[in-house]
Structure 1
Amino acid sequence: MTFYEILFFYIIFWTAVVSPTPILNRRYTPKTNIFDLTIEKVTLSPDGFTRQLSTINGQYPGPTLEVNKGDRIVMRVNNQLGEPTGNLQRIFSNVLFVVRVSKRILQIEILAIHAHGMLQRGTPWFDGVPWMAQCVIPNNFEFTYNFTVPDQVGTHWYHAHETMQYVDGAFGALIIHDPDDPYKSEYDEEIIVMLNDYHHTNAQILLKQFLTPESQGVEAPPGSKCVDNAGLAKFEFVKDKKYRLRIINTSAFSAFFFSIDKHEMEVIEVEGLYTKRTKIHRLPINVAQRYSVIVTANQPTDNYIMRSEFQKKCMPDAASSLPIIKAIVHYEGAPDDSEPNDYPWSDSLTECVDLDQKTLQPLEVEKIPESTKKLKLDIAFHKNDTGVVKAFLNGSTYIPDINFPTLDKLFKHSPINETSANAYVFDKDGEVVDIYFINADDDEHPFHIHGYQFWVLGTGNGAKWHLESGLLMQLITLPDEILKMKPPKEWTELCELGER
């Protein structure tokens, strides 16, 4: 079995969660929501194959965190991923790193948790990105993320942000309900659908192979089996009810086309922003993207196929044999053991291209300001000095400073201009920046940006683990304003742990 065949194992993990949170139609008083999250390794069999996973509270995926707009989120994260046993050797950019904790060199499972989609305005130290926004959480240690969501709503997720830990299971949905949801009267229930390219091989093994110069095949772990009778995920519908499906792509690498046979979808939200209703049959969804769609159970009582198709042109050649992954939409009253017939939508969609931006219009008209600065970024992939293929932005591949996070450097007035930091400073209040990504090769390279909501001004033809390949840049906005902030003591102490 080749590396890529392991990378894209023949399953997507689907999660169905019917939201217990009522649709609010009254004035809401914000509250503090406390979530105790223990990150630990547990042996599970989510698809019938037994393996060790990095779990949150023993669950895969982790628990869904549900709050309301205006609430405070308190995540008390307890790292129990591993026990200290010797030297830590961690692979990133094909370099071996050593982390010092409590005057000893330990092999530990370090951790950081990122609330994906949260802007963290006023609380940048809680963004959860190691070596940039914080020092890591060591094993057998608890750290609390504490922030409010004053004006954010919608479909998000949270995940470990240290190397590939979330690929091994450390992730979950984060939903911010809106008391003023303009669509609240147009659906009866909510269902969360999480798409994930689940692997039978530990992600660190896959990452090591990915960053090996020869990039030859890696064998599946001993005893690897796919259990044929593991069954399909089932989503319960009641005829004539309307459902808001919150669809989240939590994959490491894979883009999908999502659809439900014979059921139209109406897009109403993209990553926390409401859109005008747009009817579609198939939804292209890339890594880390989130959409809300309304689906009406208006078909005859029966069983129907919910399907997720790999966008294979965005993937290595070995992905050509990957099948369509299916789940079942079961109408109440339909036979439990009836196999759904195939009624796939026949729309032709271009692979490796997002949902047509022209069809996605914000619900409230927005005026795009004129730009005051333009930044061009050339994307390139080529071998570094060790023979490993790395990603470069304007000729530089990102390498983290694992002893001195960028935000800590700012507070300590240390330089942040190392070429390998890929750091760009924006120090003018009100500046509007157009960023141009110029892709010189034939692959796709999804990007997302922390701390901002932005406008997509245009796309054109041109020529994934890519974060681990160095395809990353840091945007340092208004550093003088950052220096006026006071980070919490607990955050500062994380970095002090490594200095003892």
Structure 2
Amino acid sequence: MGNAASIHGRSLTQLESRATVNSDNYSETSIVGDLSQSDTNGESILGTLSAPTLPYFMTNNPTPNGYPWSTLTAFTNYYKTHPNTGVIRKYDFTISRGTIAPDGYELSAILVNGAFPGPTIEANWGDTIQVTVHNDIEDEGVALHWHGFLQTGTPWEDGVPGITQCPIAPGKTFTYQFLAELYGTTWYHSHYSAQYAAGLVGPMVIHGPREKRDYDVDVGPIMIGDWYHDEYFDLVETVMSPNGGVVFSNNNLINGKNNFDCSTLPADDTTPCNSQAGLSKFKFTRGKTHRLRLINTGAEALQRFSIDGHNLTVIANDFVQVKPYDTQVVTLGIGQRTDVLVKANGQLDAYWMRANISVPCSLARNPNALAAVYYDDTDQTQEPTSTAWNVPDPNTCANDDLTKTVPLMKLPLPAADLTYDLEVNLFVNGSGITLFSLDGIDFRANYNSPTLLLAKLGEDDFEEKWNVRNTGNATSVRLNVINNTPIAHPMHLHGFNMYILSEGEGEWDGTIINQNNPQRRDVIQVRSNGHVVVQFDAAGNPGMWPFHCHIAWHVSAGLLIQFLTNPGKVEAFNIPNVVAETCREWGNWTLTNIPAQIDSGL
């Protein structure tokens, strides 16, 4: 089963950068100047020097004791205690199709307010986030997932069609509203089929406490992700075709920008293409420490991020602050976020920032993305001359060793009272389509029958294809994921930060890493033919929660299971009427329209 975008035999190279696929080191002579945003990313200012730096927190909140979160600190147990500021952060999103050229190659994309990436959602810890979503796509539904938010008491706001809601029908509107229970860096994306591979993504920043204020400048979100020159539905068709399934990405982007060598296109490809789309640019202040919020928003590729000549101090993985540690390269699977601190203490005036797709772990034609970092008032048209770190790819497709990643807010591992052994397998169905199964089932959603709403009505006999496991009144649930495939998978659990107990090659030997305070995060890499063991406190968050591979093409091919937690409390939920109304609108639309659901739906 392939895991990127179909190229139909094209062989492409990045503009004037000849990449050696087994190395992160390559020469650069690409042009750093950029075109107008309307020619590249639509209305987005991310990746330009016009993008604002972020404040330590938003100051229009009430600030008792000097901070919006009052006396709460980085050591407060945020799973049990969080502020409720009473402040509502309102956003209005229109989802529509539009033509953009992030790397110079023009194609139709799905945009938020005409922009790729979409607008940044920003709030303080304890604020309420309210996003009104208008679906202006005439022939498809939409649902937005707010990645990593717990949605405690509001699982119907999680944004997963066929599980927590019906899709928003064409021409219709739905307003999401949820509490920022956690703080840090994350993103939002479509969870309707593989739409987010077409550009329906955007960053989210929730300001919260730190152990100490150990940075001077918050540079803001840096979104890195693979990019495709075929429309997302064509890619899904390739993945879901008999004897098909292998798709490659065309390029790699930093904040929605990179260059592409249009001269490498085949003669019969007459798509408008400009080889000087330009690179993302960032400004550093010499001597100051900068916070960078790294987010892998791609569809398939494992990313390796670095800045020439600068060490990166990791301070958070996903929504969990960790005891700081230094590295030269940060590894990010799909959906993962890592916040780093970078001291601007280099000797040069400009440096290359790099996002390199891990070729042993991904399917990519052009794996290397560049952005330019300029010190102070340096000429921002000059090209950096810096040299990449010599840090070879370890080829493990794994995150940093679990002994390095120690949460700042300490939580000992509770005893598990329910354990699942979940095998990941590849198989070919009767139609010749290659699919994934998780615990023996290849998942497929029914957009018209969200499982959360059925559970609210007391349903406990779900269709087999929905792959539901009822955890009952289990307090803490352990998952031993046994990957029997030759492909690594970034596994994401909705509704929880997972305790990460073990990961590695082969089967688990029972060893738990750092039992007194294991790493917690919401996405974790499982190696090819390896294992990952995680645990989550099920009883504390009643709902219907997907656990799936975050590679778009893998979840399209069925790699998803869902957990019904604390079903008695789910039945007691008072779900807003607008959720049922959205299902009625979707049902009415499907009376005269057939959704083109050729994959799992997610």
**If the length of structure 2 is used for normalisation, what is the TM-score?**
0.74
2:300 alignment partner in structure 1: 253
Matched, 1:350 2:350: no
Distance 2:175 2:12 in 1: 34
- Secondary structure at the aligned position of 2:342 is classed as strand
Against the structure 1 CA distance between its residues 134 and 416, is the aligned structure 2 distance closer, same or farther, given a 3 Å change threshold? farther
Bigger shift: residues 403-412 or 116-125: 403-412
Against the structure 1 CA distance between its residues 143 and 214, is the aligned structure 2 distance closer, same or farther, given a 3 Å change threshold? same
1:349 Cα offset (Å): 4.0
Against the structure 1 CA distance between its residues 360 and 142, is the aligned structure 2 distance closer, same or farther, given a 3 Å change threshold? same
- Secondary structure at the aligned position of 1:446 is classed as strand
2:161 alignment partner in structure 1: 130
Matched, 1:27 2:27: no
Structure 1: which 4+ aligned runs deviate by more than 6 Å? 4-9, 11-14, 216-221
Matched, 1:209 2:253: no
Against the structure 1 CA distance between its residues 308 and 336, is the aligned structure 2 distance closer, same or farther, given a 3 Å change threshold? same
Distance 2:12 2:417 in 1: 43
Distance 1:397 1:9 in 2: 36
Amino acid at match of 1:245: L
**After superposition, what is the alpha-carbon deviation per residue over 1:311-363, rounded to whole angstroms, capped at 9, x for unaligned?**
111124xx3x5342211111123333332224211123423111222111111
1:104 alignment partner in structure 2: none
Equivalence map 1:54-65=2 (5 Å): 54-65=110-121
Matched, 1:160 2:205: no
Distance 2:126 2:206 in 1: 9
Runs of 5+ in structure 2 lacking a partner? 16-39, 59-64, 69-84, 248-264, 507-528, 530-550, 589-602
2:373 alignment partner in structure 1: 329
1:262 alignment partner in structure 2: 309
Distance 2:8 2:498 in 1: 34
- Secondary structure at the aligned position of 2:173 is classed as strand
Against the structure 1 CA distance between its residues 79 and 499, is the aligned structure 2 distance closer, same or farther, given a 3 Å change threshold? closer
Percentage of identical aligned residues: 30
Note if contact 1:41-1:52 (Cα within 8 Å) is conserved in structure 2. Answer: yes
1:365 Cα offset (Å): 2.4
Amino acid at match of 1:201: D
Note if contact 1:237-1:297 (Cα within 8 Å) is conserved in structure 2. Answer: yes
Q: How many residues align?
A: 469
Bigger shift: residues 66-75 or 459-468: 459-468
Against the structure 1 CA distance between its residues 345 and 416, is the aligned structure 2 distance closer, same or farther, given a 3 Å change threshold? farther
1:397 Cα offset (Å): 0.6
- Secondary structure at the aligned position of 1:274 is classed as strand
- Secondary structure at the aligned position of 1:235 is classed as strand
Against the structure 1 CA distance between its residues 126 and 183, is the aligned structure 2 distance closer, same or farther, given a 3 Å change threshold? same
Note if contact 1:127-1:133 (Cα within 8 Å) is conserved in structure 2. Answer: yes
- Secondary structure at the aligned position of 1:378 is classed as strand
1:174 alignment partner in structure 2: 204
1:144 alignment partner in structure 2: 175
Distance 1:174 1:272 in 2: 11
Distance 1:71 1:274 in 2: 19
Distance 1:354 1:7 in 2: 30
Note if contact 1:73-1:148 (Cα within 8 Å) is conserved in structure 2. Answer: yes
Note if contact 2:7-2:230 (Cα within 8 Å) is conserved in structure 1. Answer: no
Distance 2:13 2:444 in 1: 29
2:352 alignment partner in structure 1: 305
- Secondary structure at the aligned position of 2:554 is classed as coil
- Secondary structure at the aligned position of 1:370 is classed as coil
Matched, 1:3 2:7: yes
Amino acid at match of 1:121: T
- Secondary structure at the aligned position of 2:490 is classed as coil
Distance 1:384 1:80 in 2: 35
1:281 Cα offset (Å): 0.2
Distance 2:431 2:164 in 1: 29
- Secondary structure at the aligned position of 2:495 is classed as coil
1:492 alignment partner in structure 2: 580
Distance 1:454 1:307 in 2: 29
Q: 1:391 aligns with which of 433, 436, 439?
A: 436
Against the structure 1 CA distance between its residues 291 and 183, is the aligned structure 2 distance closer, same or farther, given a 3 Å change threshold? farther
Distance 1:248 1:8 in 2: 25
RMSD: 2.4
Bigger shift: residues 416-425 or 109-118: 416-425
Amino acid at match of 1:280: T
- Secondary structure at the aligned position of 1:357 is classed as coil
Q: 1:438 aligns with which of 470, 477, 482?
A: 482
Amino acid at match of 2:585: L
Against the structure 1 CA distance between its residues 170 and 2, is the aligned structure 2 distance closer, same or farther, given a 3 Å change threshold? closer
Note if contact 1:193-1:246 (Cα within 8 Å) is conserved in structure 2. Answer: yes
